[in-house]
Amino acid sequence: MKRNTIKQKELSEEVQEELQDTVEEKAEETKDFLKSIFSPQKITTYAVVKNLPFVAFIAFLALLYISNRHLAERTVRQIDRLGKDVKELGWDYKSLSAELMKRSTQSEIAKRADTLGLKERKEPPIKIEVIKEEKR
């Protein structure tokens, strides 16, 4: 005898036969359903023509999905490329900024001016005062 897993009691013969019958009926219904779906009688020219707009719509959605995927991948690649360009330009900016800071120091300017024949003053500049005479 089989045991009831919920109540942990043995099932009667009648209940077992009833359960067996319902299981067999459901299995038979499932087989019939699958046979009816895939049977050649269901697929006729009329059914194909009738469902052609739906199939075309599904194909259109598939094309949209594929094109959207390609667009997204292209955009991601472009973002990656632009990110690399931004990093490279940042490095260029930092190196040029450091070079400019080095060239704008007083000692570097004095060296470059010396090649032109200009000399750096050693004494501080003098102030020239102009005294205006009053006209009478």
Reported as a single tens digit per residue, the pLDDT across 1-56 is 555 555 556 667 777 788 888 888 888 888 777 777 666 666 677 777 888 999 99
Sequence-distant (≥ 6) Cβ neighbours of residue 36 within 8 angstroms: 42
In this structure, is residue 108 part of a structural domain? yes
In this structure, is residue 32 part of a structural domain? yes
Q: What is the mean pLDDT of the chain?
A: 85
User: Does 66 lie in the same domain as 18?
Assistant: no
User: Does 111 lie in the same domain as 86?
Assistant: yes
Phi, psi of 15, rounded to the nearest 5 degrees? -65, -40
How many CB atoms are located within 10 Å of the residue 16 CB?
Answer: 13
Residue 56: predicted pLDDT: 95
In this structure, is residue 134 part of a structural domain? no
User: Does 28 lie in the same domain as 81?
Assistant: no
Q: 134 falls in which pLDDT band (50, 70, 90)?
A: confident
Q: Which has the higher per-residue pLDDT, 35 or 102?
A: 102
In this structure, is residue 63 part of a structural domain? yes
Tokens for 128, please give them. Answer: 């020239």
User: Does 72 lie in the same domain as 27?
Assistant: no
**Of 94, 120, 99, the residue nearest 109 (C-alpha):** 120
The residue-averaged pLDDT of 84-95 equals: 96
What is the domain extent for residue 24? 11-43
Q: What is the dihedral of CA 37, 42, 47, 53, to 10 degrees?
A: 10
Residue 6: predicted pLDDT: 54
In this structure, is residue 56 part of a structural domain? yes
User: Does 101 lie in the same domain as 61?
Assistant: yes
In this structure, is residue 37 part of a structural domain? yes
Quote the percentage of the chain above a pLDDT of 90. 38
Q: Which has the higher per-residue pLDDT, 54 or 136?
A: 54
In this structure, is residue 90 part of a structural domain? yes
In this structure, is residue 130 part of a structural domain? no
User: Does 18 lie in the same domain as 39?
Assistant: yes
> What's the 3-state SS for the chain?
CCECCCCCCECCHHHHHHHHHHHHHHHHHHHHHHHHHCCCCCCCHHHHHHCHHHHHHHHHHHHHHHHHHHHHHHHHHHHHHHHHHHHHHHHHHHHHHHHHHHHCCHHHHHHHHHHCCCCCCCCCCCCCCCCCCCCC
User: Does 38 lie in the same domain as 68?
Assistant: no
User: Does 111 lie in the same domain as 56?
Assistant: yes
* Number of domains, the chain: 2
